[in-house]
Structure 1
Amino acid sequence: MVEVSDEFSGTICSICYEALKPITEDLQSITICGHVFHELCLLQWFEYSKAKKHTCPVCKQGCKTNDACRLYFQSVGDGNETVPSQKSIDFQEDAGVLRKEVKLLEVKVSGLSSQLERQGKELEDVTHELCACKKQAKIDIALKNEALNEKATLQFQLRKKSEELEKSSFERFRLEERNMALAKELAALKLVSDVDLDEEDILKLATLGNGANSKDTIDTLKKSLVLRNKFVLQIFICFTEVVLFSIETS
């Protein structure tokens, strides 16, 4: 127990800035730093800072709720004062206990209300965020489906173009072969019919589409030579017949 002097009446609670009355009020002290406050004020301080780290309201030193302890004071009574009856004392003590319990419950209710309000706000924020995520998910799914459809369309078009290109390449190759065959036929015909061709022209026409020493070139020259001989022979026969006819008629 601590004896109370007249000097204590000048002290105040640093939370509510009201005077500290150790005889009629419950006081608590933070054991780490020794600062004294009204019990209800300190409890309410801890309730409001529940989501944060607890600190001393005066020196801001870190502490826990277990570091707060109640202070008990003993007053020096005046001998001239009248001692109240035991019944009156019991009644006042019961009323004081009830008032303290009511205030404690009010502090707890206030703290729980604040906590419930914070949790409600957090729940509302989470709900809004969830709705936003669902909307974004729908948008992402729609974009993904659109991209897949576009990919399938492009793949179909690519496959179609590849088929067209393959068909066009085959047709071009066939036409090139046909043109080469016609060119060879024309060259062979010219080798047979044109008697004014020199050696260089004959070689060019014979090697058309073939190498200079290839078997195809040699075959072309042989065939052309045979046909050319036949052609010359026919001309010679015709010329002989004409000469003989001229002699006979003359």
Structure 2
Amino acid sequence: MKIIKRALAAVALGVVALVGAVAPSSALPTGFYSVPYSDNLYYNQQNTGWQQVTYSQWQQAGFPAPRKAPTDFVKYPWSPTIYSVTYFDGGTWLWTNLSLQQWQRAGSPAPRNAGWVQGSYFYQWQTSNELFVQAPDGTHHKLTYPEWQAAGSPSPAFHNNQGFQKLSWWDGVAKMTNVSSGSGSTVTFNAWQQFGFPTPQAVSRFPGDTFCKYPGSATIHYNGLTAYGTLTYSQYAAAGFPAVTSC
């Protein structure tokens, strides 16, 4: 690798010096770097880029003492997961989703709140104008306007023909995989919570639901995506007085 070869040449010339970590706004000197949460080593080429190196590559360079790479610790305000971000040259940073052991090895530093974490996925369901983010740890969160601005006002991916709906006259929320055809399934409270509590779109009916009466009975029975049972007059009215068939 070219930058490793340049490192070996630098060692031979005796110009790789041991210095302390520099501020993230400054260019890092060329050389080997360590991070506080693992044994991994990295080689940074000043104003060019960086890469992780193997023990063999470090050995070939003569085991130069690695500098401490400038590393920050951040988290989303609404998630307990802590991420490290190490500032190398070349326009890219090293992000790591830390385990408890890695965080403890780093000295259990207090993280600062961040508006954006690399690897976050921003999206919107068809059924509402709310914006959400899925963090690298898999957690979902409904964004406020200030949170969206703090993230850099990213354009969300649009989940066309998908989302969350509920009958306006019955409890129960459905996650819709195909809004047009009425395909989906009822979600539990915990599942709805895991998706960040998206506000369900209220509908009077789902495609394919049925209303029927048994012979000799005035009671209307309903069978739909999120509900099954007998209806009151007000519920039947809220459904739009649909045609009733024989059960």
Which is higher, the Rg of structure 1 or of structure 2? 1
Identify the structure with the greater helix proportion: 1
TM category, shorter: under 0.3
Give me the TM-score of the superposition, normalised by structure 2: 0.23
Give me the TM-score of the superposition, normalised by structure 1: 0.23
* More strand, by proportion: 2
